[in-house]
Amino acid sequence: MTAEKIEDIRTELKDYDDQVAETKTLLKERKAELGDKKSPQIDKLRTARDEASERREAIDKELSAYSHHQKQVKKLIGDLKSLHKDLAKAQEEYGVIGRLSDVANGSFKSMSFQRFVLATLLDEVLIAATERLYKMSSGRYQLLRADAETDQRSTAGLDLAVEDSHTGKRRPVETLSGGESFQAALSLALGLADVVQSYSGGIRMDTMFVDEGFGSLDAEALDSAINTLVDLQKGGRLVGVISHVADLKERIDVQLVVESGPEGSRASFRLP
């Protein structure tokens, strides 16, 4: 070798020795920094990385689904806003008609227009009926329309109540006894007849039949009911009573008696 070539090799060797020394120093510093730290477990880290990757893929799929749902919701919101505008316009155009429809169908104050008309007519019937019931009950009862619904599932307006002067309280007609109920029913029938006549252009209801009910009355109530029917008869009406009560035979002059026998029933008149 030439002297020049030998010098180049020496220079390379020296550089190599310097690098080795520098590397050893660096290695020593790194070992000092690591201290008691152990080498990571690459297999476990790879497993954790794979699991994390799978979770990320699942989350990405959920995010994609949520994004799709979000677009659908935004579309629905837009459609609802459009429908709301159309509804507001329709309400403005048909608000008055809708209000009239609610009143007529009973959506307003739980009373339809038909019930309102019937309630008005019923008030007239109750006025006429109360005049008779007041006399039959010796001034105790008056008929009137109930102020509130007796059943929350029904429509208000046509429920009946009685004003009891003995207790000073108002109560439903269902609380009346059997005899009192008969008096109230008879009074309503007579009151209805009076109102129908008043609305019928002079047409009179001259005939009335009362079927049973007298057996539930005590002696005083029976006298009162019969006196009411007698007053009707004196006013020009024909009043027929269908009953098995023996006491009525003494108070009714003309009787149509129906008697049963082996060969059938037989009807005959009994005059005073």
Please indicate, yes or no, if residue 229 is contained in any of the structural domains. yes
Please indicate, yes or no, if residue 159 is contained in any of the structural domains. yes
Q: Residue 153: what pLDDT? A: 46
Which helix H or strand E contains 233, and what residues bound it? helix 219-234
- Exposed/middle/buried for 66, CB within 10 Å: 0-12, 13-18, 19+? exposed
Residues in contact with 79: Cβ distance below 8 Å, sequence separation at least 6, in sequence order: none
Provide the number of structural domains found in the chain. 1
Please indicate, yes or no, if residue 187 is contained in any of the structural domains. yes
Please indicate, yes or no, if residue 141 is contained in any of the structural domains. yes
Phi (first) and psi of residue 240, to 5 degrees: -110, 135
Please indicate, yes or no, if residue 33 is contained in any of the structural domains. no
Q: What is the CATH number of the domain that holds 261?
A: 3.40.50.300
pLDDT tens-digit map of 102-156: 777 766 556 677 777 888 889 999 999 999 889 888 899 999 988 655 454 455 6
pLDDT tens-digit map of 171-203: 998 998 888 888 888 889 888 888 888 887 667
Question: How many CA atoms are closer than 13 Å to the CA of 53, on its beta-carbon side?
Answer: 6
Mean pLDDT of the chain: 84
Q: Which of 3-7, 53-57, 65-69, 249-253 has the lowest mean pLDDT?
A: 249-253
Please indicate, yes or no, if residue 20 is contained in any of the structural domains. no
Question: How many CA atoms are closer than 13 Å to the CA of 153, on its beta-carbon side?
Answer: 0
pLDDT for 89 beyond 90: no
Please indicate, yes or no, if residue 181 is contained in any of the structural domains. yes
pTM for this one? 0.53
In the chain, pLDDT over 90 holds for what percent of residues? 34
Please indicate, yes or no, if residue 14 is contained in any of the structural domains. no
Domain containing residue 230: 113-270
Q: How far is CA 188 from the centre of its chain?
A: 32
Q: How far is CA 3 from the centre of its chain?
A: 116
Q: Residue 156: what pLDDT? A: 60
